[in-house]
């Protein structure tokens, strides 16, 4: 295509791609695009600060209320109807609707609102071409499950004209193959095992629950990071570099470290557009000042951080879904993360008193395993499908303690065939080795390019044939969608 029209092709491709999810849903993305675009232009022209605040607040409210309606209306209506039934005998009930959550509504809404806030803060200039802004909102690789890009990171790449770059195309294709391997060979093959365990917790209790949440956590990482790798790979084939969304999160040594490595673009969004505004808000400033004067100077300095951490994790849980078990998960994460920050000085003193060598590998391994298990158990409510069933599942780990199941047949063969078991174990070892090398700072794709061309093709064809021969797919198979495409 002529260079000056290349971005138009990407825009058309993005809207056609989205239309496959249902052309009627395009209206919601167009609504977000138009309201945010014109609001940003007006913010640049209006001088009165109060008017600016009202304008941006109304625009944000309009977009987030649309998102909240799709995510929460039916759930809140159900709770309201139950309360009405308890309070009074009446035939009245709040109506519910058959709602199809628009594809990627959270991701394009967050991306657009981030742009709007940055424009309000004066860190970026507003885009004056609505079609160019539309491609920033709708760029198709990121629509399904992110990553959530910033305007100053992505926009210029989308508009720039470029020639075909073989190196970038090859690297992008390699990333797509790696993402497909994680999704189709690992994640989709583990799905039946997880569904079997959590479909009947009366049979699969005790340590089966531990096995279930560990496998579910591995499946989630392989599925989510695999999907994002595919998205980033597709973009890179066009010469567009999107931000990383994962940095080996299961190698984290603390919960704080985990959230720095997991779904990075979303957590950075929470940090910049929710966490810091809460800390710097007037009510929090008053509370901090009061706490310093009346209770404790030290507590007054950090109370805003504790409250903001808890609120962010709770809202993150609510963002994931309109069910009480998502709120329970947010409560779990918020409580543990806040306690971790509060008790950090005590842990440091304990390490000194007990003379623990915190620089050795064994201590780091302990931290990694501890953090991994804490993160895994945050999924028990989600996999069990409710708060009550989640609590019962956790209780059964202690009450129905059954260590005799920890053998090869009970852990694998009961849920997977021998062939699937071999494939899963081998694939997980491959993913582990790749993660260890990346954690050591080795750029694998760049390292591969330094090898002989024959070796490069052996690795690439090996990945392709691994997906063809070992991937879960076929005419008689109901393919598992991406776990995060529903957000």
User: How far apart, in whole angstroms, are the C-alpha atoms of residue 438 and residue 464?
Assistant: 21
Which among 110, 125, 111, 108 is positioned nearest to 40, based on CA atoms? 125
CA-wise closest residue to 55 among 38, 76, 30: 38
Q: What pLDDT is attached to residue 89?
A: 67
CA distance 422 to 428: 10
> Residue 458: phi, psi to the nearest 5?
-60, -45
The residues spanned by each domain of the chain are 3-163, 165-203+219-242+401-487, 261-385
Q: Please calculate the CA angle 347-348-353 and round it to the nearest 5 degrees.
A: 95
Cβ 207 vs Cβ 401: under 8 Å: yes
d(Cα 84, Cα 133) in Å, to the nearest integer? 45
pLDDT, residue 178, reads 95
> Is-contact 265 243, C-beta < 8 A?
yes
Q: Mapping DSSP to helix (H, G, I), strand (E, B) and coil, where does residue 37 land?
A: helix
Q: Specify whether the CB–CB gap between 55 and 62 falls below 8 A.
A: no
Q: Is 43 helix (H, G, I), strand (E, B) or coil?
A: helix
Question: CA 412 to CA 192: how far, in whole Å?
Answer: 11
Q: How far apart are CA 187 and CA 463, in angstroms?
A: 16
pLDDT for residue 68 = 82
| Closest C-alpha to 400, from 208, 260, 242 | 208
CA distance 184 to 179: 8
Residue 470 contacts residue 423 (beta carbons within 8 Å)? yes
Could you tell me the pTM of the whole model? 0.89
- Tell how far CA 131 is from the center of its chain: 28
| Per-residue pLDDT tens digits of the chain, which is 487 residues long | 888 888 999 999 999 998 887 788 888 899 999 999 999 999 988 888 889 999 999 999 999 988 888 877 777 777 677 777 666 666 667 776 666 677 788 889 999 999 999 999 989 999 999 999 999 999 999 888 889 999 988 988 998 888 888 889 999 999 999 999 999 999 998 988 888 888 888 888 888 888 889 999 999 999 999 999 999 999 999 999 999 999 999 999 988 899 999 999 999 999 999 999 999 888 888 888 888 888 888 778 888 888 888 888 888 888 877 677 777 788 888 888 888 878 888 888 888 888 888 888 888 999 999 999 998 888 888 888 777 888 888 888 888 888 877 777 767 777 888 888 889 999 999 999 999 999 998 888 888 888 898 998 999 999 999 999 988 887 766 666 777 766 6
Task: Please list the helix, strand and coil fractions of the chain in percent, rounded to the nearest 5, in that order.
Answer: 75, 0, 25
| Residue 263: closest CA among 273, 254, 271 | 271
In the chain, the N- to C-terminal Cα span, in Å, equals 34
> How many Cα atoms occupy the beta-carbon half-sphere of 124 within 13 Å?
18
């Amino acid at each position: 295509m002529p260079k000056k029209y290349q971005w138009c092709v990407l825009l058309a491709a993005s809207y056609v791609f989205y239309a496959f999810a249902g052309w009627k849903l395009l209206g919601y993305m167009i609504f977000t695009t138009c309201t945010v675009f014109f609001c940003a232009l007006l913010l640049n022209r209006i001088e009165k600060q109060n008017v600016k605040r009202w304008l941006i607040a109304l625009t944000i409210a309009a977009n987030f209320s649309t998102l909240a309606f799709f995510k929460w209306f039916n759930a809140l209506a159900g709770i309201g109807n139950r309360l009405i039934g308890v309070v009074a005998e009446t035939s009245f009930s709040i109506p519910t609707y058959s709602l199809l959550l628009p594809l990627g509504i959270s991701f394009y809404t967050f991306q657009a609102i981030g742009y709007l806030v940055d424009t309000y803060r004066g860190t970026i200039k507003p885009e004056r071409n609505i079609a160019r802004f539309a491609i920033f909102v709708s760029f198709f690789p990121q629509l399904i499950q992110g990553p959530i890009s910033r305007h100053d990171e992505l926009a210029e790449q989308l508009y720039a004209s470029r020639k075909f770059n073989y190196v970038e195309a090859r690297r992008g294709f390699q990333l797509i193959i790696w993402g497909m391997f994680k999704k189709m060979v690992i994640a989709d093959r583990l799905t039946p095992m997880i569904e079997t365990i959590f479909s009947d917790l009366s049979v699969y209790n005790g340590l089966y629950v531990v096995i279930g949440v560990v496998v579910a956590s591995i499946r989630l990482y392989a599925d989510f990071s695999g999907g994002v790798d595919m998205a980033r790979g597709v973009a890179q084939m066009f010469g567009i570099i999107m931000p990383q969304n994962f940095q080996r999160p299961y190698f984290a040594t603390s919960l704080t470290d985990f959230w720095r490595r997991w779904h990075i673009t979303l957590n950075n969004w929470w940090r910049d557009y929710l966490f810091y505004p809460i800390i710097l808000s007037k009510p929090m400033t008053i509370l901090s000042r009061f706490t310093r004067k009346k209770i404790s100077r030290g507590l007054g300095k950090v109370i805003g951080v504790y409250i903001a951490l808890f609120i962010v994790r709770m809202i993150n849980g609510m963002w994931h879904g309109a069910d009480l078990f998502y709120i329970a998960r947010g409560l779990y994460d918020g409580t543990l993360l806040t306690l971790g920050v509060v008790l950090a000085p005590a842990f440091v003193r304990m390490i000194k008193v007990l003379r623990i060598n915190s620089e050795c590998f064994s201590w780091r391994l302990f931290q990694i395993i501890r953090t991994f298990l804490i993160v895994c158990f945050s999924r028990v409510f989600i996999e069990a499908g409710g708060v009550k069933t989640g609590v019962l599942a956790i209780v059964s780990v202690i009450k129905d303690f059954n260590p005799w199941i920890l053998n090869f047949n009970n852990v694998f063969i009961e849920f997977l065939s021998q062939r699937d078991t071999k494939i899963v174990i081998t694939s997980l070892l491959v993913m582990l080795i790749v993660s260890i090398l990346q954690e050591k700072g080795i750029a694998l794709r760049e390292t591969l390019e330094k090898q002989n061309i024959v070796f490069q093709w052996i690795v690439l064809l090996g990945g392709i044939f691994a997906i063809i021969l070992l991937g879960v797919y076929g005419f008689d198979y109901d393919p598992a969608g991406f776990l995060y495409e529903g957000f």
